[in-house]
A and B are shown apart, each in its own frame.
Chain A
Amino acid sequence: MATKNQPLNDPMLDPITGEDRVIAPGHTFKSVTEKISRIVLTSHTPIGWFGGLLLAGGGVSMLLVAVSWLFLKGVGIWAITQPVAWGFAIINFVWWIGIGHAGTLISAILLLFKQSWRNSINRFAEAMTIFAVVCAGMFPLIHVGRPWLGYWLFPYPNSMNVWPQFRSPLLWDVFAVSTYATISVVFWYIGLIPDLGTLRDRSQSKIAQFAYGWLALGWRGSVRHWVRYETASLLLAGLATPLVLSVHTVISFDFAVALLPGWHTTIFPPYFVAGAVYSGFAMVITLAVPIRKFYHLEDVITIRHIENMGKVMLTTGLIVAYGYAMEVFMSYWYSASHWEYFMMWNRMFGPMGWSYWVLVTCNIALPQLMWFRAFRRNVPLMFIMSFIINTGMWFERFVIVVTSLYRDYLPSSWGTYRATRWDYATFAGTLGLFTFLFFLFVRFLPMIPMSELRILLPQAKIHAEGEPLPEAGD
């Protein structure tokens, strides 16, 4: 009974709505549980996993070397100097934390909007958030020069009798990012508890039973527990939504509060948030495509997921494009300021103008291909697009940080910025760390929430038409 002009009998289409299914037909509570838990509980680890882990481990080693050398020599091994005192560290910090935001968006905002298609991708999107925040949080810490004194940022009574200065956005960052990291971890763990219970009950090895047993905290699926659990999840989602908006807003304040042309603009908070979601969804696709292929999860991460994420990326990409346009409008014309005008001219046509055009190509021009349905439904093309967008988003931060700083008011103090090998090594190292943590995650934890997938099954519907006991015998 297809109601739209869709080919009949396509098992991946919902016969009632004609939409793509979120989960392939024929699954039962048992098959869903089996499929997901087997990935974790198998004693046979795929060889590709070891290969990937080894490769990512190489990146982690590089990061360790780069950071050790940094601690020995100081931040002078990076390219940062006057006038560009904020280089890769801040670019990477903003880039990583932006990537994390899509995880929160998927798990929180889409939960509030009752977008049930998100159920199968929210777990690893949340994991992505946490790992991205780990990578992000490292940068300001190693950038402070004396990282062993990083705890001075927190207000605590000390013998020096000094306290932090609460009027600085940099300190707001400390609270925003630490809250974000904490809430993300808690939200993720709370979401994991029922699935950890499943793993505890299904695992055969003593070690796994013990480990998952402790982690599951004795979860037994009582409906009273479920009611409180659902309330807590909803509340956490409701809290994470304003949180995620505030985090990138506060990060944009790091720039916007400064009186520097190119930074001092009110458009920053909304367009930073949109950019964060944009790059985060791109990263979800980067991760989802190989995972569904490698673990044969095409029937729970369906084409509908890829297409919906394409739509979100298109939308947030347009918001970002609007932000860029507004920046140009404000500096060229509206501000009537010579300095603003020069900054924008220099950003586009100065010695580093190429970076601006990379950004425009990757973030505005090419993503317009996602207007085409055929493009959004083409998995390899979307995979490539996700890399293009994240390149563009990295360059957005590069443009904001470097091209605003390297030629400021006085031509005699102009300089340039050329990243050193340690800059690149640290950045590439965090990519390795991110991948490494993700590999561990897909091996040891259920990457798709089983309990939430069960809700999506048609069997989960309560049928009131009970012939034996229609309205209970009272």
Chain B
Amino acid sequence: MPIQEGTYGLLAEFDTPSELVRAAQSAYDSGYRRMDCYTPYPVEEAAAAIGFHRDNVSLLCLLGGLLGLVAMFSLETWISVWAYPLNIAGRPYYSWPAFVVPAYEWTILFAGLSAAFGMLALNGLPQVYHPLFNSVNFRNGATSDKFFLCLESTDPKFDVAESRVFLEGFKPVSVVEVEY
């Protein structure tokens, strides 16, 4: 990753989720796109306000589940029919009803792991460094009781002075410039 310098963005702090949602909605409506909200618990309205609706976690989960199902069922079939055929009480080598149970378990195993690790991967986690943690009020509040809106400097509409005025219009607790 190249070393970046300068301003990461402007961070506005709010006391309530309602203020945050209103600010985020207005920012989105006035054309800002590269921005994010930070909340101590899931606030769906804030995600909707910044135009984030779809996530691909479910798709990953489905693919993982299918992979687990196919992998286990074919492994069982291959083992019981070709690799190590055993006569168990005269049952057919290809005893598919018995194979359903482990295949079912692996469907769930792979689907669950894909959902969990897929979510982390799509979120870009683990991430040991993030510029926002340079901001003291973010460190103190983001995971506890404060609500943040960050307009990022990579947005074409971003301008340190103008965006600050824009954010201050929402009467936030503070607006802080965050360095990389």
Contact = CB atoms under 8 A, between A and B. Distances in A.
Interface of A: 28-30, 33, 155, 161-169, 171-172, 175-176, 179, 182-183, 186-187, 190, 194, 197-198, 200-202, 213, 217-232, 235-236, 239-240, 242-243, 246, 250, 253, 450-452, 454-455, 459-464, 466, 468-469, 472-474
Interface stretch (B2-10, B120-128, B157-165): B120-128
Interface in B123-146: 123, 125-130, 132-133, 138-140, 142-145
B75 A231 contact: no
Contacts of A164: 79
Contacts of A166: 76, 79-80, 95, 98-99, 102
Interface string B82-97: 0110101001000100
Given A187-B116, A466-B22, 12 more contacts: A166-B79, A168-B88, A218-B127, A218-B130, A222-B36, A223-B39, A227-B47, A235-B115, A450-B40, A455-B42, A472-B25, A472-B29
A219 B42 contact: no
Nearest to B171: A468
Nearest to B104: A246
Contacts of A168: 88
A454 B41 contact: yes
B170 A30 contact: no
A451 B41 contact: yes
B171 to A, nearest CB: 7
23 contacts: A29-B144, A164-B79, A166-B98, A175-B106, A197-B143, A201-B143, A221-B142, A222-B38, A224-B55, A225-B123, A228-B55, A228-B123, A230-B42, A246-B104, A451-B41, A451-B42, A462-B18, A462-B43, A468-B170, A468-B171, A469-B25, A472-B26, A473-B26
A29 B76 CA distance: 51
A220 B57 contact: no
B75 to A, nearest CB: 6
A219 B52 contact: no
Contacts of A455: 41-42
B168 interface: no
B108 A201 contact: no
B12 interface: no
A231 B18 contact: no
B108 A242 contact: yes
B79 to A, nearest CB: 4
A232 B58 CA distance: 7
A257 to B, nearest CB: 10
A239 B104 CA distance: 11
B167 to A, nearest CB: 13
Given A163-B79, A227-B55, A236-B112, A33 B47 contact: no
B28 to A, nearest CB: 8
Contact of B144 (A30, A246, A468): A30
A464 B49 CA distance: 13
A452 B41 contact: yes
A220 B122 contact: no
Nearest to B37: A223
B46 interface: yes
Contacts of B43: 223, 226, 460, 462
B69 interface: no
Contacts of A175: 72, 101-102, 105-106
A222 B112 contact: no
B119 A232 contact: yes
Nearest to A465: B18
Contacts of A466: 18-19, 22
B32 to A, nearest CB: 12
B40 A469 contact: no
> Chain B, interface size: which category?
35 or more
A175 B140 CA distance: 44
B77 to A, nearest CB: 9
A182 B88 CA distance: 30
Nearest to A173: B101
A224 B22 contact: no
Contacts of B95: 166-167
Nearest to A242: B108
- Which of B18, B99, B144 lies at the interface centre, i.e. has the most chain A CB atoms within 10 A of its CB? B144
A240 B105 CA distance: 11
Contacts of A460: 17, 41, 43
A228 B79 contact: no
Contact of A198 (B37, B72, B116, B143): B143
Given A30-B145, A232-B57, A474-B29, A220 B104 contact: no
A231 B119 contact: yes
A224 B123 contact: yes
B61 A235 contact: yes
Given A194-B143, A224-B52, A462 B21 contact: yes
A182 B91 CA distance: 32
B151 interface: no
B162 to A, nearest CB: 15
Given A198-B143, A232-B57, A236-B112, A462 B42 contact: no
B26 A201 contact: no
A236 B118 CA distance: 12
Contacts of A253: 101
- Which of B38, B40, B80, B119 lies at the interface centre, i.e. has the most chain A CB atoms within 10 A of its CB? B40
Contacts of B30: 473-474
Contacts of B142: 201, 220-221
Contacts of A190: 116, 119
Nearest to B129: A218
Contacts of A182: 109, 112-113
Interface in B35-79: 36-47, 50, 52, 55, 57-58, 61, 72, 75-76, 79
B99 A239 contact: no
A217 B16 contact: no
A227 B42 contact: yes
